[in-house]
Amino acid sequence: MIHITVALPDHVAQQYYEASEKLAHYLGEPAPNAQTLMRCMLATFSADEIARNFDIGLRNHLGLPMPGETDTYVFPPEFENAP
């Protein structure tokens, strides 16, 4: 087993703490703590899924097109000019 230490931004870590609290509410005690939830999430991804998620995150951050994304509009372009 490999042990790693990962620094997470506070707002990201907060999501795991909130999820842990919600699970404690639904499941009662003992519920998985935030660190257990983080370990579970890390352990569930394959190498391809990790690479795909990283690629999508970078594309989103840089404003690049997403793989498989079509050029269809949710609203037609003329919607912006509607009175």
pLDDT per position as a tens digit, 16-70 = 999 999 999 988 888 899 999 988 888 888 999 989 888 988 888 887 777 777 6
Q: Which of 44, 23, 45 is nearest to 33 (CA)?
A: 23
11: confidence class by pLDDT, cuts 50, 70, 90: very high
| Residues sharing a CB contact under 8 Å with residue 6, sequence separation 6 or more, in sequence order | 38
pLDDT reported for residue 65: 78
Please say if the pLDDT value at position 77 is more than 70. Answer: no
| CA–centroid distance for 9 within its chain | 13
pLDDT reported for residue 73: 58
Question: Are the C-beta atoms of 67 and 53 separated by less than 8 Å?
Answer: no
